[in-house]
A and B are shown apart, each in its own frame.
Chain A
């Protein structure tokens, strides 16, 4: 297919980025990753002697899925920069999903710390994909700072509330010259389709698949939804009309 996603010169034929968080075990994760046909997935960096183990990297290597380390859990620019540097060392990639959240209840991005971290990481040679609020001004500032992609949330991480402010997402898409990846808040397939219909270049999701009753099946649904939404976007939807417009020819001489 010619319609490829390009981020920082790297090309992807899948527009779905499936995060690895929340999967009950590696076998469930493997089946979901395969069903999703994703080519890029997120991982986190944690202390080596705690739960998780080294298995996930081996799995991703075996499946040929690219790793996108995130800075999840960081609350300040300084923490995020150190975590990104550690991830670069551990995973041999200069790509990073920058995520700096303000508090544990909302997990909403801290705009000030996110922007500062983005500037420092770009200066340090990172390819930064920045998780951000659905704020067109902040998205623009992150792009100006040199981020390779901006990733606005649809709603808070793990909430499954979908896209709460579709118009803001459209505004971000309209003004952005880097790919816009809808990240966080996807609950079900129609949310992912909507993100693509609004013009997003890709969708990043995890919880809605990994914590679904049937993760593999939901991964397939998301794959298809992202494709359908993308096709609809490219096809060009009809304008909304207040009044009906007959789709059959008028009846002549009737009555």
Chain B
């Protein structure tokens, strides 16, 4: 299944959850937040939120700034 993570296409095995996608891009669970198709997915729902083909996922973390 093809999903877009942080603007890049990833091929992930089905079924795939948000939690698996976060692991796939190597993001630590701590200090990370996820938006799926423009909406926040709370951490508690990562493991039970399944991705559909062509889902757009943003995986964000804190960096120096401001």
Contacts and interface: CB of A to CB of B under 8 A. Distances in A.
A47 B59 contact: yes
Contact of A86 (B26, B30, B40, B63): B40
A24 to B, nearest CB: 10
Residue from B30, B33, B34, B40 with most neighbouring chain A CB atoms (10 Å): B33
Interface in A64-85: 67-70, 72, 82, 85
Nearest to A85: B40
A43 B33 contact: no
B52 interface: no
Contacts of A82: 35, 38-40
Contacts of A48: 6, 25-27, 32, 59-61
B50 interface: no
Contacts of A45: 33, 60-63
B7 interface: yes
B15 interface: no
A47 B66 contact: no
A44 B27 contact: no
A250 B9 CA distance: 84
Interface in A185-240: 206
A36 interface: no
Contacts of B63: 43-46, 50-53, 56
B65 A21 contact: yes
Nearest to A17: B66
Interface residues of B, number: 28
B40 A47 contact: no
A36 B39 CA distance: 37
Contacts of B58: 47, 86
A47 B27 CA distance: 10
Nearest to A78: B38
Contact of A22 (B26, B40, B64): B64
B65 A20 contact: yes
A19 interface: yes
Interface string A12-49: 00000001111100000100000000000011111111
The 5 closest A-B pairs by CB, nearest first: A44-B65, A52-B63, A42-B66, A90-B33, A48-B27
Interface of A: 19-23, 29, 42-54, 56-57, 67-70, 72, 82, 85-87, 89-91, 97, 99, 206
